[in-house]
Structures are given as structure tokens and as C-alpha cells.
Chain A
Amino acid sequence: MPHRDPRAVLDVGEEALVLPPGDREALDRLFTATYEELRRLAAGVRRDDPGVTLSPTALVNEAWIKLADSPPAGVTSRLHFTRIAARAMRQVLVEAARRRNAKKRGDGKAWVTFDEALASAPAGADDLLALDAALEDLARLNPRQAMMVECRFFGGLDVAETAALLEVSEATVLRDWRAARAWLAVELGQGG
């Protein structure tokens, strides 16, 4: 494998999606890889086949393998990649949810639905958009905590990996997670 030019590790505290401008193609590939892995994840659930269902971690692994030979510029490590992949997954899902809602509002066309059970499934899209908005709020209160939630929930990182990525102790990760978990439940009107 060709070695790549070592680049500066970007500060993990940086809030914006850490892909430099001009790397449009890498971003494109990242989103494509992420999307495909999400699809596989979703397909596993749909078949209700626990053996096939992938964890988010496996999903990031796959995306990493796909892009390992030419990761987007600025990506320097596996963990760093996970951070970016988690953000990509969140964005892909949120965008899909937005589009789904837009379509639901209707364009006056006749639609065909092939699976009645799916058609009446709970409004996962709305829930996801609400979670996304709440995470934005959390990011304003404590960026590191929001990033941690993103990495664990969307990126499937475990406690040790999250601690390594954010350069904090595992105990801190557990404490922050617990508080965030409760706070998001309150914000989204559940459990509170």
C-alpha cells in the first residue's frame, strides 16, 4: 500500500465536519461507503436475522476498509476516521429522514407501497430529526459531550475507544454518557 503523506492530526475538539474543502471526491466516497454500510445494517434488521445484523462498529469497520487505501485528506488514524464516519452516518440518516418527511408531505401523486407493515411503521424519521436537533443543543452546552454521543451512538465506538479518541479517562466517558443519555431523554420528552 502506498504510504501517504503524513498530515497534521486535526484537533478532535473541532466542531465542524473535519474534512477540508476541496476534498469533495473523498467526501463523496466516504458518504457512499457509509450509506452502503447503513443500508446493510438496515437490511439485516428488516430480514429480522440477528446473525446478519451488524453492529454500528462493524459498519464503521467496513467503511474504514473501503477507504483505508485512500482515506479523506486529514484522516490520520483509525479512531480519527471513526469520528468522521460517525458524523457521516449521522448526516446521511438525517438527510434521508428530511427527504422522507418532505415526500410524506406529498406531491399529489399516487404512490405504491409494497409492504403495509412498513408503511405504518413508527415515525422513525421524526425521532431521528428530533435527536439530531437535541444533539445540536447539547453541542452548544458541551461540545465534547455531543461528540462523544455521536461517536458512540452513530459510530459504534466502545467506551475505551471513545476515551482514547477524546483523550479522557474511561470513567469520564461513562459519566458524560450517563448524563447525556438522561438529558436527551428529558429534552425529547421521554422518561421525564
Chain B
Amino acid sequence: MDAGRWERVQRLFHDALDRPATARRAFLQGACGGDPALLADVLRLLEADDAPDSPLDQDLARVAEQVLHLDTAELPLTDFGPYRITRLLGEGGMGVVYLARREDLGSVAAIKILRDAWLSPARRERFAAEQRTLAQLHHPAIAQLHDADTLPDGTPWFVMEYVEGVPLTDYCRARDTSIEGRLELFRAVCEAVQHAHGHAVIHRDLKPSNILVTADGRVKLLDFGIAKHLEEAEGTVDQTRTGLRLMTPAYAAPEQIRGERVGIQSDVYSLGVILYELLAGQPPFDLTGKTPAEAMSIVVDREPPKPSAVARRPQGRASGHTSWGDLDVLCLTAMHKEPSRRYQTVEGLVRDVDRYLEGAPLEARPDSLRYRTGKFVRRNRVAVMATATVGALLLGTVVFYTARLARARNLAVAEAARTQRIQNFMVHLFQGGEDAVGPADSLHVVTLVERGIEEARNLDNEPLVQAELYQTLGTISQQLGRLDQADSLLSLSLERRQALLGGDATGVAEGLVALGELRIEQARFEEGERLIREALAIERRALPDDHPAVQQALAALGQVLQSRGGYDEAIAVQRELTGMAAGGDSPELAANMSALASTHFYAGQYDTADSLNTLVLAMNRRLHGNRHPMVAEDLINLGATQLERGDYPAAEAFDRQALEITRAWYGEDHPKTAAGLTLLARAMVYQKRNDEAKTLLEEALAIRERVYGPMHPTVASTTNELGNIAVAEDRYDEAVAHFSRMVEIYRTAYGGKHYLIGVALSNLASAYNGDKQYARAEPLFREAIAMYDATLPADHTTTAIAHIKLGRTLLRQRRFTEAAPETLAGYEVIRATAAPGNSFLRAARIDLAAIYDTLGQPERAERFRKELADTAR
């Protein structure tokens, strides 16, 4: 049959069907004319149409069942080493588990087999990941891995401890276990999970059926099938989502359901649900008969009733001091919708369980329950998750090494590649954007870094590993802004390496570069340059020119030269670096060219910067497509030169394009979008389009408030921009409101001592100054100066400007004697550093002339007037 004939057959088939059954044959005989084969074809179709059993009437589910199940229900008897399969135990999303007997020892074990391994590498990888996870964990409450191999057809399998027991909830129900007994069992579960977290493993699928209790009352945690290494959990959202979809919604944390990044707090949530069920006798949400979508929305949006309200009677035997109030707080804190409001670690949860058992007050406060709903749910997500993940991972790394060294001392050193990976991961998290970690939220990380240092100190027997950890911790401290601590850690790490490896080792060079990069941040450029050059010399002797370490050192050298204003030298280095690249596009080349463009920009060579950035833009477009955030960065850089040239409409156009890309990529509610809005607003301010700037900034502000909550430093930086616009337009009440908020946020976020608090105070005071409320401005300027003195190096421009402003406030109050030393102090500093035409210098000269005139010192006044006249020429 061909297509045309099939068309004809079908037409006749349908025409016949339109007629009564009795008339069809006669119709067809006429219609087919003299073509008996055609007639036969159509008649056969009509007959089949009448019959009930076309292959298409089959149920696809049944087809799948027949094809997929039979495929693996049959297994070879002999291919599992010393193990022989005896019966089917169960099946999960990934594998099927059999009971097996070990022939030579007579022991039993569970064999897990990946069905249909041929299907996809992703499944094989996930199966292997579970195996690796189990191999890493050694805890009495975690089923142990015994053996692993592959069948001849490629099917992977592994053998683990067989646990004979009943699910945790069934066990308690059957034995009518007391509340205390339940809490003790729960505590044992927590310890197993804690062990996993200590190895940077998140379980992600904690539920009663994965937690068995043996006849003698021991808890065993099973099924790390979708567990994830924290460093992998950093991966893309869709992978996490895949993980979620494999897990049971009843125990999944809201962020898992939403497909967001999971962390150790996701396990804390699941533990909370399990505890709830143990205490209340039923799960917090009734999801029976719900569609997946309904179940998901319940978990994400609905608040569970207090366990005490649900328990029809207290579960288990009556007990002495059962205090439902505390148990409610414990459960609901663990189950908080917002990860940052849960116990931040399983350890914290265990501590409160212990406190409860001892009759002591909990660490969790009931008032925290007030915050459970509404906008808080969306708050602080990025920062908190990143922080928690890094914190846990850091501890995990240290514990990992401690445990590991206890077992095999030398392995840790051999695993340097892995360390490098972990290290990169951690550092990247902190570099995830200017806004990724705010100081308030990083307090927690700070504590963890402290603990990490403590643990690392104990590794005296493994000085090389210790040195590596010190470097990691030092780099993190640097990211956290704790430069002193970073300094001592990085210096210590470097010394160790020099002592152990000898001065010429590439490991030493790596330490030199890390310390050099810190020096750049400390503005100790000469020393930074010396360190980096030393590193480069070592690497040049030992490594080929195109080695990544050499390139990294060269990039650092370019950076330090650029930072200290040695633009020509920086350009030479960065040119060399870009020249080394093999032909063709690469992200590294793009990054190096972009750095070179920045140096030209700072050197005022805008044309060169533009041509380089144009090349980078084209390359990034080829590498990533037109609408990638990297492309947006390049557009922003192109906009920056236009801004410098004073071509504000051109700058605006670039910033608009960048914003559109950023918005499309990250969505409305993302800090990057807020940053893009802020840049565009700046281009508007230059064009005196303050109203438009205001609209953009208000949008940015709303995003930052949604993402970070109202008390985050980035919110303050936005209100600062808005306050400056208000000052420029003489709307002082509005400015005072913006700057007051800025002060409050910085005070809260930085715990009372930070130079940004000084900036906020000083800006607030300036608004009062503009409004002629000098009595209000004066104490604020004084406080700002005190803050700068405590936080900034001596003779800092910022401090000097505050002195000049304070002087003006005093001058306006006609307190000339007090004004003179303030203005003069600021003037001296600024004159030494700033360009002659600097506006603050000008203001200081005007004020000083007025002050000395009034004080009856005309010669001095004349000196400043002369300077003013000189600079005016």
C-alpha cells in the first residue's frame, strides 16, 4: 500500500461508516468499482473497527508492566561473587533490592541492583553516587556497604548490610513507646543524619519507611538513593528537582518541593515531620488521595496544626513531665517553612531534644513561630542557603579529614584533587555575587570558620593537609571581610608549606598567590606584587607557561598592578596572558580580555577598553548565546565607558539591554535584577531624570526587600541612592527617612561597628545640614567620625570629608573656634591626596577663609582665598 491508496481506503472507510451498517457493503461495491482488492481492504478495516481488541485498546500501563518488570525479575544466580540471591525484598525508584546469602560465611545481606542500567548514564551515575556515599559513611545507625560490582551485561549492583526491622513509626505504635522513648529513638536517628552531614552528605529522603528499628531497639537509617554531596547540591536546580520528584512529598521540605537548592536544613525539616508523626500519632498534613500538585501546594503553603492539638491522646504511656508546649515548639521550629528559621543544624535540634529530656528550657523560642508565614517565607533565601551549605560543608571537610586520617593517614594527601574541588566550591559560593553573603547572615559562617580553625589545629600530625585547610579557611575569612584572621591563616599556611615542601615547590607558589591576593584587598599592593612575582618565578621554573597555575598567578599579577595604578605594567601582563590563549573562544580568554579592558578603562583609555569589551561581548555571545548574564556584564562595561565619556544616553542604552537580559535570566525577584536597575538608575541621575531614577530604584528596593528582607545591607545601599536623590532635590524629610533607615539597617547588620554605619550617619547628618537642623546634624557627624576612627586607617579620605562636613555644621552655628580644627583636619588630608579641583577641598577652603576672617586672622583667611583663586585658574 502507498500513501495515496491508504488515503483512498480511509475515505471509503469513513464514508461507509457514515451509512447504516446494512447499507455499507452495497455502497462500497459501487464505490470501489472494479477494484476487489480495494473493497477487501476497506471491508477488513470495517471488521476490525467492530472488533474490541485492537492493539491500541491495550492499557499502556499493562504494556509497561510486562515489558519492564519481566526484564529484571529474572536474574542470574551466579554473578554476585560469594552472594546468592534468595528473595525479593523491595523496589524503589532506582533499584530493586534482594535478600542474599553469603555462601562462604552463611551471613545474609541485601543486594541492590540497578535495573535497566542501559537506559541512561544519569541513572548509572546516581546509583554509583549512592554506593560512594555509603562507602564513606561508617556509623552504627547507618546500613553499611559490603561489596559492589557489575554483572556481565553491565548492570551494577552493591551489597549492603541487611537490616531486619520495622519502620520507626510502626515500632513505636506497636510497643506503645513512651514520649521519652520516642524522643530517644528520634535522637538516635538525628545522630545518624548528623554523621552524614559531617561527611557533607544530605540524605534528602528521610521518612519513617527509611528508618528501621531492629528487635533489640537499634535504629538503622537506609536508602541514600537520592542523597547528595553538598558540593553537588550546589548544582543546577533541575537536578535537585529531579531528586525531589523521587522523594516522598509528605516529608519533603518546602524548598525541595519548590525545586530550590537543598541544604542540611532540608533534612532538619524532614526530621521535624518524623518527630511530629511520632508525637502526634499522624503526619502533619493529610495527603492521602491528593494529586501531586495539591500535595505540593499543601506542603509549601499550609501551616500544620500544633502536634499537641492533633494528638487525640498523648502518644505512648503517660510520662512525668511531658510538656506539650515545648514539644510543639521543637517540632514546629524544625519544620519551619523558611530554612533559616529552622534549627540550623541537626546538632541544634538534638540539643533541644536533650534539653527537653532534661527538663531544661529550649534554645528555640516560641516567639519565633510568629514569623512563620507571609512574606518571611521568601526572605533571605539565597544568603541563608548559601551560608548554611558552606558552613556545613566546611565542617564536613574538616570532619572528613579528621575521620579519614584516623583510618588512613596518607590518603588525605593523595586526595589533594578532591580538596581542591571542595575548596573551589566553597570559595565560589562566597563569590556567588556581591550580595550572596550579607554580614548579618554570615555570622553563622563566622562561627563555623572558627570551629573549622579549631578542628584544623588538631591536625598537627598532617601538616600538609592542615596547611591546605588553613588556606581554604583563610580565603573564606577574606571573603567574609575578616582580613586579620585571613592574614594569619594564609601566612601560617604559607610558612608550613615553605617548611615542608621547600621554598621552590609549586605548592608554596599557590600559597604565595593566595596571600598576595589578600594583600591586594588590604591595599598593601607592593607586598602583594612581591609575593605574586615570587610565586610566578617558582612556577615559571617548574611548570609550562600554559599551566593553569601560571595563568592564575599572571591574572593575580595583572590585578595587583591594576590596583596600584601601574596600568602600563598591568596591561603588559594581561596582554601576555591573553596572548597565551590557544586560538578560538574560551571562557578563560574572555575573562582575561575583560580584565585587560578594565585596566584600560581605569587608565582612561576608553577607546581601547571599548574595542576589547566589544570583542569580549562577541566572544561571550558565541560561547553562551545572546541572552546570557556574561553578555549582560559586557554590556554594563561598555555602558561604563559611555558614562565616563558623558554620553549618558549611550550608557543608558547599554544598561537597558543588560537589564533586559538579567531580568529575563534571573527573573523579577533576583538581586542581579536589582543591581541592573540600580545601574540604569545611575545613568538616569546623570541625565537629571530623577523621577525615572527614583522609579527604578524603588523597584530595586522592593526586590531587595523581598529577597533579603527589610534589614539587609543591600536594602540600605538602595535607600542611600534614593536619599541622595532626595537631597539633590531639597526634599530633606524624605532624605532623612531614607538615611535613617540606612543607619538602622547597618547598625543591626554589622553589630554596631562598621565603617558603613559611619557612612550612613554622615549622610543622615548631611540631610539635616541641608534642612538647616544643625543641632541634629552635629552629634551624628561626631558619631560618624568616631566610627571611622575605629574602623578605617588613619587619614582616610572618608574621615576627612566627615571632618569638613562637621566643620561646616559648626560654622553655620557660628561656633567658629570649634569649626576651625575640624575643617582644617579634613583639609590637610584631602589636599595631600585629591586633585586640586576636588569639590570637598574647595568647600574646605571657602569655609576656612570665612572662619579665619571671623576669628580675626585675616592672613590665614587670605591664604585659603588665594588657593581658591589659584585652583579656579
Contacts and interface: CB of A to CB of B under 8 A. Distances in A.
A141 B64 contact: no
B242 A192 contact: no
A41 interface: yes
Q: Is the interface of B mostly helix, strand, loop or mixed?
A: helix
A128 B67 contact: yes
Given A142-B3, A149-B56, A28 B64 contact: no
Interface in A38-61: 38-46, 53-56, 61
Interface string B7-21: 100100110010000
B68 A190 contact: no
Contacts of B666: 2
B48 A122 contact: no
A185 B60 contact: no
Contacts, number: 223
Max count, chain A CB within 10 A of own CB: residue among B55, B116, B664: B55
B37 to A, nearest CB: 14
Interface string A17-39: 00000000100110111011011
B237 interface: yes
A65 interface: yes
Contacts of A130: 55
B152 to A, nearest CB: 8
A61 B293 CA distance: 10
B49 A178 contact: yes
B45 A179 contact: yes
B62 A124 contact: yes
A125 interface: yes
Max count, chain A CB within 10 A of own CB: residue among B2, B46, B79, B241: B241
A96 B68 contact: yes
B49 A32 contact: no
A154 B60 contact: yes
Contacts of B79: 109
Nearest to B51: A191
A66 B73 contact: no
Contacts of A69: 237-238, 241, 259
A190 B56 contact: no
B75 A42 contact: no
Max count, chain B CB within 10 A of own CB: residue among A54, A61, A100, A140: A100
Q: How extensive is the interface on chain A, given as a class?
A: 35 or more
B45 A186 contact: yes
B73 A53 contact: no
Nearest to B666: A2
B3 A62 contact: no
B627 A100 contact: no
Contact of B61 (A56, A184, A191): A56
A182 interface: yes
A141 B39 CA distance: 19
A36 B47 contact: no
A61 B296 CA distance: 14
Contacts of A32: 119-120, 122-123, 242
B292 A42 contact: no
A190 B64 CA distance: 20
Contacts of A191: 47-48, 50-54
Nearest to A153: B56
Given A45-B62, A178-B49, A93 B67 contact: yes
A181 B49 contact: yes
Contacts of A156: 60
Contacts of B69: 42, 46, 118
Nearest to B52: A191
Contact of B67 (A61, A113, A124): A124
Contacts of A125: 66-67, 70
B14 A179 contact: yes
A112 interface: yes
Given A3-B664, A96-B71, A182-B46, A62 B51 contact: no
Max count, chain B CB within 10 A of own CB: residue among A66, A118, A125, A191: A191
Contacts of A122: 66
A185 B54 contact: yes
Contact of B51 (A36, A124, A149, A190): A190
A70 B93 contact: no
Max count, chain B CB within 10 A of own CB: residue among A56, A93, A124: A124
B815 interface: no
B318 interface: no
B218 interface: no
B240 to A, nearest CB: 9
A67 B238 contact: yes
A118 B13 CA distance: 40
B61 A53 contact: yes
Nearest to B84: A112
Contacts of B53: 185, 190-191
A113 B85 CA distance: 10
Contact of A124 (B49, B66, B93, B121): B66
A158 interface: no
A131 interface: yes
Contacts of A62: 245, 292
Given A35-B116, A141-B3, A185-B53, A93 B63 contact: yes
Contacts of B153: 103
Interface in B704-723: none
Given A66-B242, A175-B14, A128 B77 contact: no
Contact of B64 (A93, A177, A181, A182): A93
A112 B116 CA distance: 17
Given A5-B627, A35-B116, A192 B47 contact: yes
Given A46-B65, A111-B77, A114-B87, A29 B54 contact: no
Given A29-B238, A185-B54, A113 B74 contact: yes
Contact of A119 (B3, B45, B62, B73): B73
B656 to A, nearest CB: 17
A93 B51 CA distance: 26
B88 A28 contact: no
Contact of A131 (B46, B51, B55): B55
A31 B67 CA distance: 16
A82 B158 CA distance: 35
B85 A112 contact: yes
Contacts of A29: 120, 122, 238, 242
B680 to A, nearest CB: 19
A170 B462 CA distance: 73
Contacts of B88: 114-115
Contacts of B51: 185, 190-192
A131 B56 CA distance: 9
A155 to B, nearest CB: 9
B371 interface: no
A131 B17 CA distance: 25
Nearest to A24: B121
Max count, chain A CB within 10 A of own CB: residue among B14, B73, B115: B73
B665 interface: yes
B667 interface: yes
Interface in B72-106: 73-79, 85, 87-88, 91, 93
Contacts of B1: 141
B817 interface: no
B375 interface: no
A142 B9 CA distance: 12
Contacts of B91: 43
A1 interface: yes
B324 interface: no
A164 interface: no
A43 to B, nearest CB: 7
A66 B241 contact: yes
| 10 pairs of A and B residues whose beta carbons are closest in the complex | A124-B66, A191-B51, A185-B48, A42-B65, A185-B54, A45-B65, A182-B48, A70-B238, A141-B6, A42-B64
27 contacts: A1-B667, A5-B625, A25-B122, A31-B119, A32-B119, A32-B122, A33-B245, A35-B116, A42-B65, A45-B59, A56-B61, A62-B245, A67-B238, A93-B64, A96-B68, A114-B87, A115-B73, A118-B69, A141-B3, A141-B6, A142-B3, A181-B56, A181-B57, A184-B55, A185-B55, A190-B48, A191-B48
